[in-house]
Structures are given as structure tokens and as C-alpha cells.
């Protein structure tokens, strides 16, 4: 009596064309196929869209010479008000994620409440947490007038110039810090009202 042989006749993605005869399965981005005997295991690793290289810091920690505005909130964080009449500053600190060796960009998010320019300078540092000391500092940035966008209270952002942090050392698990300094008393600051920041976003590479 003949032995009945059972095997895969066709295979397809749901709703697609059936494939017959010799078919090869190929792993894609972040997908690994492992064959052992009659078994094929499919494993998927986290992809780049998990934003493991992006660190966003909201007011409430790491601020200097300013009070958090408790009446205004953005994505779970308060706003930091920069005075319209004097020099004020705020710094943020972010831990360099695993495997990262450089900074791709730094964004400052704020609420637009004037159509003037805000006059800012940035100072950056990297901190070796094992030795609890500043590893490198970059204070080469110059004061620059940044356009504030709209005046309707919507959230705007601009990108910190790379020259403000290019000189600091970016090492896995180091802390990096970027300080915003507003010189509101300068004639080039035409914002003429309190400037409220809501977040700083670091993108590492």
C-alpha cells in the first residue's frame, strides 16, 4: 500500500498570488529567518522608527535662573519663560543612547506669541558620568536673531546650529547639555515679550 506523502503545495501572502514549486523565504529589514530541520523561525528586531536615538527634554528639570510656568503645558511639560527685559538662560541634559557617537540635530520648541526676532546664544557640554566631570565644552556659538514664526500661540521650532555643539565629545552613556541664553535687552531682540520654550529635542546618530 503506498505511503501518503504530505507536503506544502502552495504558499502566499494573504490575498496575494499563490506560489508553487520551489519557493524561497527572504528576511527583510530587521527580520531574520533561521531554518532548523523542518522548522523556520522568523525573528523581528526593533526598527529605526522606535526613535531610540531621539531624546526630548521638557521643562521641569535642568533649568537655570527661570521659574516654570505652571499655567501652560505642552505634551506633559510646563513652559520655561524667558524674560523680555533681561538675560535669562535654561539648560537641558540628555543621556547619549547606546551605540550613538554624534549629534544629528538639536531642536528648540516654543510657543509663538510675537512676530519679532529672539536673540539667542547656545553653549554645549559633554559630561563623563564615570568621572563626574565636564569632558568637553563648546562656547563658540555667537548671538543670533532667530525668527519666532507666528504670534497665535502655536508650537514652533527651530534647529540649533551644529557649530554650537560640534566641538563636544559624544560618547555612549555620556551626558550632553545645551544651554539657551536669551539677551532680551539687546536691540537685535525684537520679540518684545516673554519667550516661552516647551522642549528641546536631541537626535543622535
Domain count for the chain: 2
Are 71 and 41 in the same domain?
Answer: no
Residue 102 lies in a domain: yes
Residue 152 lies in a domain: yes
8 A C-beta contact, residue 143 and residue 51: no
Residue 2 lies in a domain: no
Containing structural domain, residue 21: 10-48
Q: What is the domain-level CATH number for residue 166? A: 2.60.120.260
Closest CA to 194 of 148, 156, 145: 148
Q: Residue 176, exposed/middle/buried by CB under 10 A (0-12, 13-18, 19+)?
A: buried
Residue 1 lies in a domain: no
Are 68 and 124 in the same domain?
Answer: yes
Are 33 and 58 in the same domain?
Answer: no
Are 104 and 164 in the same domain?
Answer: yes
Q: Residue 121, exposed/middle/buried by CB under 10 A (0-12, 13-18, 19+)?
A: middle
Q: What is the pLDDT along the chain (205 residues), one digit of tens a residue?
A: 555 555 666 676 665 677 777 777 777 766 777 887 767 777 765 444 446 899 988 775 444 444 444 344 444 456 778 888 888 888 888 999 999 999 999 999 998 888 899 999 999 999 998 887 788 999 999 999 999 878 888 888 999 999 999 999 999 999 999 999 999 999 999 999 988 888 899 999 9
Q: Enter the pTM of the model.
A: 0.69
Residue 20 lies in a domain: yes
Residue 19 lies in a domain: yes
8 A C-beta contact, residue 178 and residue 96: no
Are 114 and 126 in the same domain?
Answer: yes
Residue 100 lies in a domain: yes
Lookup: cell for 195: 519667550
The CA angle 168-172-174, to the nearest 5 degrees, is 55
DSSP 3-state of 48? helix
| Cα–Cα dist 164/89, whole Å | 15
> Looking at the DSSP assignment, which residues form a beta bridge with residue 44?
31
Are 23 and 71 in the same domain?
Answer: no
Are 141 and 105 in the same domain?
Answer: yes
Q: How many CB atoms lie within 10 A of CB 24?
A: 6
Are 175 and 75 in the same domain?
Answer: yes
Residue 63 lies in a domain: yes
Amino acid at each position: 500500500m503506498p505511503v501518503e506523502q504530505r507536503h506544502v503545495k502552495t504558499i502566499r501572502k494573504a490575498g496575494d498570488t499563490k506560489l508553487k514549486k520551489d519557493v524561497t523565504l527572504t528576511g527583510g529589514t530587521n527580520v531574520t529567518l533561521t531554518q532548523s530541520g523542518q522548522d523556520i523561525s522568523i525573528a523581528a528586531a526593533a526598527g529605526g522608527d522606535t526613535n531610540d536615538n531621539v531624546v526630548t527634554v521638557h521643562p521641569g528639570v535642568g533649568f537655570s535662573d527661570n521659574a516654570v510656568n505652571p499655567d501652560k503645558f505642552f505634551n506633559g511639560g510646563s513652559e520655561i519663560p524667558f524674560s523680555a527685559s533681561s538675560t535669562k538662560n535654561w539648560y537641558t541634559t540628555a543621556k547619549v543612547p547606546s551605540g550613538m557617537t554624534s549629534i544629528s540635530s538639536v531642536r528648540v520648541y516654543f510657543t509663538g506669541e510675537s512676530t519679532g526676532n529672539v536673540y539667542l546664544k547656545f553653549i554645549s557640554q559633554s559630561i563623563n558620568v564615570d568621572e563626574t566631570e565636564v569632558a568637553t565644552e563648546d562656547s563658540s556659538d555667537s548671538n543670533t536673531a532667530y525668527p519666532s514664526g507666528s504670534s497665535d500661540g502655536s508650537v514652533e521650532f527651530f534647529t540649533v546650529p551644529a557649530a554650537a555643539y560640534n566641538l563636544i565629545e559624544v560618547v555612549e552613556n555620556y551626558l550632553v547639555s545645551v544651554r539657551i541664553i536669551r539677551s532680551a535687552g539687546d536691540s537685535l531682540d525684537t520679540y518684545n515679550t516673554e519667550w516661552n520654550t516647551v522642549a528641546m529635542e536631541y537626535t543622535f546618530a
